Structure 1
C-alpha cells in the first residue's frame, strides 16, 4: 500500500473515531438531561404526595384546597420575597384551636421535644398541628415565571429573610403563640451559653404572642446534660422574664435529658412526673 493511501486510511479512521466520540457525548448529555428531568419531576410529585399523605391523617379537612392555598403563597414568586403574611389564607383554612395548658414550645431542643411529644400525649408542639405536620422538615420554593413547586436550588434558612419555609414557620408560629393559654411550657437548651435567643422563632415571634391574663404561667424546662454550661440563673433567661407580658408568672427547672427520655418511654408515668 502506498504511503498516501495509508495516510488517507488513517484520516478516515480518525474521522470515524471523532464522529463516534461526538455522538457518544451527545447521547450522554441527552441521557443526563432526561434523568435530571425525571428526577426533578419525581421530586416535585414526591413533595405533593408527602404533603397530601400527611394532611389526610387529619380528618375533616379539604387537603386539595389546602394544597392550593399553600402553593398560592410562593409559586411564581421570587424565592427571597415571600413574606409571612403570604400564608394568611393557608392559616385561615386550617386554624389552630386554642389549647390551654397543653402547648409545648422549644428552642434548639427539637429532637428531644419531638421524641417526647410523640411518646406522651399530654403536650402539643407546632409540628403536630396540621400545617406544622405536613411541612415538617421539608424544603420548597417557587420562581418567577413558573407555577411549579421546586424542592432543589431553593434558598437556605439564612440566605434571605423572606424565603418560603422561613416565612411559613414564622407565620404558623405566630398562630401557635396566639393559641396558647393557661400554663405554657418551653423546653430550652441548657448545653449552650444562650438558651433564650431573642432572634429565634421562640424569642422573636412566639413569646411576643403570649398575653396576660390569657396566658398565666411560663414554665421553662431547661434540658441539661452532664457537662451542660447553663443553669436557670443564666442571664438570657432573665431576658425571657423581661420579655413576658406583665402578669405572666415564670418558673424554671433544670432537667436532665436522660430523665426526659426515660420518662417519655415509660407509659405508666404521668407527664408531670417527667420534671
Structure 2
C-alpha cells in the first residue's frame, strides 16, 4: 500500500514537473518570438504623420514589404529601394548634418536648432529611429523581439535599412555639409563607421562645396582637429570639396542652439 502511494506521488510530481517545463518553455518562446505588429505599425504611422506630404499608410505597406516573411539575415539594403523612393525628401542644401558616435548630442542640437537636419530628422529615418524590427519565414507579421543584432549577420533587417537610408541621405547632400564627431575618443573618425564607409565617399563636387567637421567633447581636454584620424577624411574627400574643422565643447554647441539660422562656427 505504501509503495502504491509513493508511486502515485511520483507520477503526480512528474506530471506537474512536465507541465511546468512546458509552461516555462512556452514563455521563453513567447518572449523570443513575440510579435507586436500593431504597436510597431502605429508608431511608424504616428511618426510619419508629423511630416507633411506623405501617404503614411502606403509608406508603411512599402516599408514592410522589404522584410515580412523573409529570413531576417537575408534582407539586403536594395530590398528597401521601393521605400527609399516613396520616402524621398527635399534636400536641405547647406543644412545637412551627419554624425558618428554623437547621436544624443547631435539630436539635442537639431531639436533646438532646426536650421540643421540629420537623417533621423527626415521621414526617411525618423519613422524607425531607435526601433528594432524583422520578419520570419512563413509569417506575415512584424517582430520586434528575437531579431538578429547589428553584428549577428551582415544583411540583417535593421542594419540593411540604415545602410541604405544613409546612402540616400548622403546622395542628397549639397552645398556646405557638416559632420559632428566625438572629440572624447582617441580616434574620432573611423573609416569603418557608417559616416566613414558609406556617407563620406558619396560626397561629390561640385554638388558638395565644403565639409565642415565639428569635433565635440564635454571639455577642451579631448581630441582636437589635429588628430591623425581626421587626416583620413581629407584623403577620402572628393577633389574640389573644401575641408575645415572646429573643436567645440558641448557648452559652446549649446549656445549655438539658441542663435538664429546661420553657422556659429
CA deviations 1:9-44 (Å, max 9, x no partner) are: xx3476257437625752784587379659965633
The runs of at least 4 consecutive aligned structure 1 residues that moved more than 4 Å come to 34-42, 271-274
* Residues 1:136 and 2:139 aligned together: no
Q: Is the 8 A contact 2:34 2:143 kept in 1?
A: no
Q: Is the 8 A contact 2:91 2:172 kept in 1?
A: yes
CA deviations 1:138-165 (Å, max 9, x no partner) are: 1111222222211122111112221111
* Residues 1:74 and 2:67 aligned together: yes
The equivalent position to 2:104 in structure 1, one of 104, 111, 121, is 111
Query: Compared with structure 1, are the counterparts of its residues 45 and 229 closer, same or farther at alpha carbon in structure 2 (3 Å cutoff)?
Result: same
Cα separation, 2, equivalents of 1:177 and 1:249: 17
Which residue of structure 1 lines up, in the alignment, with residue 230 of structure 2?
237
Cα separation, 1, equivalents of 2:187 and 2:241: 22
Q: How does 1:1-275 map to 2 (within 5 A)?
A: 7=2, 11-12=4-5, 15=8, 18-19=11-12, 22-23=15-16, 26=19, 29-30=22-23, 33=26, 37=30, 43-226=36-219, 228-264=221-257, 266=258, 269-270=259-260, 272=262, 274-275=264-265
RMSD of Structure 2 on Structure 1 (CA) = 2.5
Secondary structure of 1:255's match? strand
**C-alpha deviation, 1:96, in angstroms:** 2.5
Q: Is the 8 A contact 2:36 2:142 kept in 1?
A: no
Q: Is the 8 A contact 1:259 1:274 kept in 2?
A: no
Secondary structure of 1:158's match? coil
**C-alpha deviation, 1:231, in angstroms:** 1.1
Secondary structure of 2:139's match? coil
Q: Where in structure 2 are there 5+ consecutive unaligned residues?
A: none
Query: Compared with structure 1, are the counterparts of its residues 57 and 45 closer, same or farther at alpha carbon in structure 2 (3 Å cutoff)?
Result: same
Secondary structure of 2:47's match? helix
**C-alpha deviation, 1:235, in angstroms:** 1.7
Query: Compared with structure 1, are the counterparts of its residues 272 and 58 closer, same or farther at alpha carbon in structure 2 (3 Å cutoff)?
Result: closer
**C-alpha deviation, 1:181, in angstroms:** 0.8
Cα separation, 2, equivalents of 1:107 and 1:98: 20
Cα separation, 2, equivalents of 1:20 and 1:82: 47
Structure with higher Rg: it is: 1
User: How many correspondences in the alignment?
Assistant: 265
Q: Which has the larger share of helix?
A: 1
Cα separation, 1, equivalents of 2:34 and 2:224: 49
Task: Using the TM superposition, name which of 92-101 and 224-233 deviates more.
Answer: 224-233
Task: Using the TM superposition, name which of 29-38 and 189-198 deviates more.
Answer: 29-38
- TM-score scaled by length of structure 2: 0.89
Cα separation, 1, equivalents of 2:263 and 2:161: 34
Q: Is the 8 A contact 1:96 1:176 kept in 2?
A: no
